[in-house]
Amino acid sequence: MPTFLIAPDWTIEILSPDQSQTKVTKNILYCLKYETQMGWLIDPEEQSVFVHLPHQAATFTINQKRNYQCQNLLKILV
Is residue 70 over pLDDT 90?
A: no
pTM: 0.71
Structural domains in the chain, sorted by start = 10-77 (3.90.1570.10)
Question: Contact 42/13 with Cβ under 8 angstroms?
Answer: yes
Encode pLDDT of 23-63 as tens digits: 999 999 999 999 899 999 998 888 888 888 888 765 666 66
Is residue 77 over pLDDT 70?
A: no
- Decide the pairing of beta strands 10-14 and 38-43: parallel
Sheet holding 48-52, edge to edge: 10-14, 38-43, 48-52, 59-63
pLDDT of residue 74: 52
pLDDT of residue 11: 93
Q: How much is the average pLDDT of 15-26? A: 92
Q: What are phi and psi of 28, to 5 degrees?
A: -65, -45
Cα gap 17→1, rounded to integer Å: 30
